[in-house]
A and B are shown apart, each in its own frame.
Chain A
Amino acid sequence: MGAPINARGINGSDLIATLHLAQQAPGILGQGPTKAKKDTAEEYGQIEQLFLACLRTGDDQSAQACLDRLSQRFGPANEKVMGLRGLYQEATAKDNSALEKCLKEYEKILGENPVNVPILKRRVALLRSLHRSSDAIAALIQLLDAVPTDAEAWCELADLYQSQGLGAQAIFSLEEALLIAPNAWNIHARLGEVLYVSASAPEEIRLASKSVQHFCRGIELCDDYLRGFYGLALASSRLLDMGYETPSDRAMPSKQTVSRLHEFALKRLREMVETRSVDDQHWASSRSELIAAKALLNRFEQKS
């Protein structure tokens, strides 16, 4: 077994690291509650991460053990533990009727305590997995009306809107999320993507230029963010395709700047693809991004 993985550092979409962590479950849990190392927040944060990793990798038994450990320490009535238990029940539900049962349970809990935020969020997620998007959006709006400072919820709302084809609403939600976390380059890039998708009609040149701006900001905040460069290459090329002309407004970039940005993005993408292809193991988790970047580069090369 390799060095212990820092559970907190695991990125949610990094499947390989998640798998590694889940494989260590017996080792971490094996010490038993009597020999629990330290009664600290980190320790329990780690158990929570392990719980999520086990659920994702299908190790329901270990997940149950993690959950037991947490509810033993904090009591089954702790809001967070309730949310995690709901998550467990959803994840192990066999069919739709079991999920409906979870939903009924959430509603019962919320009837007793309407401000149980983890359960409110679980309910939204459950509605979404039951393909009741409009209900999920309504529930999420209700939640955000009460807690407008929750960036996670705003991002989820944006995602829901985008899945329903409501671009303008998704843009608004992402802007709200960015107001809470203004330096999150991934949200900047995500906003750029949504703007890019919305700017499909030629009269929406304003959206396309905003998209370019947000990708640029994302790159400014994290200068080797592959997704940012990918988006910048696409958005700037669309802006040029739309017949962008140097505007009279001095604040807007000139046409020449946009085309230079396009070249710059392609150049950096090429570099990144080269270096990361060599160091394959290190970038294993983002291999799909790398493949997409290669495809994009090929497309632009064929075009020119």
Chain B
Amino acid sequence: MAIQGGEQTILRDPALFYWILFPISIVMILTGILRHYATVLMNSPPKGPSTLPELRERHALLRGVNLRNHAAAVLDRESFEIRKNYLVSGFRNGSFLKDPNNRGQPPANPMTDPAGMEQMMGMLKGNMMMMIPQTLIMSWINAFFSGFVILKLPFPLTIRFKSMLQSGVMTRDLDVKWVSSLSWYFLNLFGLQSVFGFILGSDNSANQMAQQMGMANPAAMMNPMQPGQDPDKLFLSEAENLEVMEHFCILDGVEERVLQNFAPEVN
């Protein structure tokens, strides 16, 4: 029976602290670090294109976008029309596609497409890396440490926190300040992010450098298309965008503009 208004006291064996609170925290930190390095090891860098036509397929769209955005700053009408016609007909004919013969066919099923498969495997690996250790540790804690009250918070809390702080301890009357071992596990699971940040470096993934060096050669790595997207459709819509484009050129009248802006005294 809870004593209303009074302080609940529970005598705790100090061994609880050394043999439950400590081990759980340390195991959580260690698994976090281990998981980090396992992810780094198993992470395969995104594979670039392997043939020149594949590379071209990725970049052709950007060329159209560039023309659309920047033509006004560079081209006069004549050279703009030439480029526009070239790109539009290229997009329409599918000559920028990786294999023009496959046009119009539905995109390959990601389950059978090896590239898509690889990506799915990557995601699966990442998820597994989270799931497996957590399941193991939780069952370990459940088997060995369930039902212990190991910690008393130094501040009062409302009753709502009971399910968060006292999972595994089925008492109705225990004050919310008391924390059970299973709850301590959950608190660690969600609260150790900043500790990992401190131990492993701020961005928490050691292999970022390798990617950056790859990025230093952005031409090869860039991929404007999402996997599973049909490039042909993107090309057709880009062709439409180009077709409706109105040409103007900021080079028209640049002479007067320069005189006006930079040489007021000559006027």
Contacts and interface: CB of A to CB of B under 8 A. Distances in A.
Interface of A: 39-41, 44-45, 73-74, 78-80, 113-118, 142, 145-150, 172, 175, 178-180, 182-183, 210, 212-214, 216-217, 219-220, 223, 251, 253, 257-258, 260-261, 263-264, 267-268
A217 B256 CA distance: 11
Given A41-B209, A220-B254, A80 B216 contact: yes
A78 B217 CA distance: 11
B76 interface: yes
30 contacts: A39-B209, A41-B209, A41-B216, A73-B213, A78-B213, A80-B216, A115-B48, A115-B50, A115-B54, A115-B220, A117-B217, A117-B219, A146-B52, A148-B60, A148-B63, A172-B79, A175-B75, A179-B66, A179-B70, A210-B251, A213-B251, A217-B250, A217-B254, A220-B257, A253-B256, A261-B255, A261-B259, A264-B258, A267-B263, A268-B262
A114 B261 CA distance: 50
Interface in B17-61: 48-56, 59-60
Interface string B119-161: 0000000000000000000000000000000000000000000
Contacts of A183: 73
Contacts of A114: 50-52
Contacts of B254: 213, 216-217, 220
B258 A118 contact: no
Interface string B168-189: 0000000000000000000000
B52 A179 contact: no
A279 B54 CA distance: 53
Contacts of A74: 210, 213
B91 to A, nearest CB: 13
Interface string B223-267: 000000000000000000000000000111111111101110010
Nearest to A39: B209
Contacts of B101: none
A33 to B, nearest CB: 14
Contacts of B263: 260, 264, 267-268
Given A74-B210, A251-B253, A149 B262 contact: no
A8 B257 CA distance: 34
A40 B209 contact: yes
B195 interface: no
Contacts of A142: 52
A182 B219 contact: no
A39 B51 CA distance: 32
Given A149-B66, A182-B73, A220-B257, A115 B262 contact: no
Nearest to B213: A74
| Most B-side CB within 10 Å, residue of A79, A148, A150, A172 | A148
Contacts of B256: 253, 257
Given A115-B55, A182-B73, A223-B262, A216 B255 contact: yes
B62 A149 contact: yes
Contacts, number: 131
A256 to B, nearest CB: 10
| Most A-side CB within 10 Å, residue of B50, B73, B257 | B73
B251 A214 contact: yes
B50 A147 contact: no
B67 interface: yes
A219 B49 CA distance: 40
Contacts of A79: 214, 217, 220
A79 to B, nearest CB: 6
B117 interface: no
B252 to A, nearest CB: 5
Contacts of B259: 257, 260-261, 264
A147 B70 contact: no
| Most A-side CB within 10 Å, residue of B56, B213, B217, B266 | B213
Contacts of B258: 216, 219-220, 261, 264
A264 B262 contact: yes
Contacts of B251: 210, 213-214, 216-217
Nearest to B69: A182
B70 A182 contact: yes
A124 to B, nearest CB: 14
Nearest to B215: A41
B251 to A, nearest CB: 5
A236 B58 CA distance: 42
Contacts of B250: 217
A149 B209 contact: no
B63 A149 contact: yes
Contacts of A223: 262
A189 to B, nearest CB: 13
| Most A-side CB within 10 Å, residue of B66, B67, B219, B255 | B255
Contact of A179 (B51, B75, B214, B266): B75
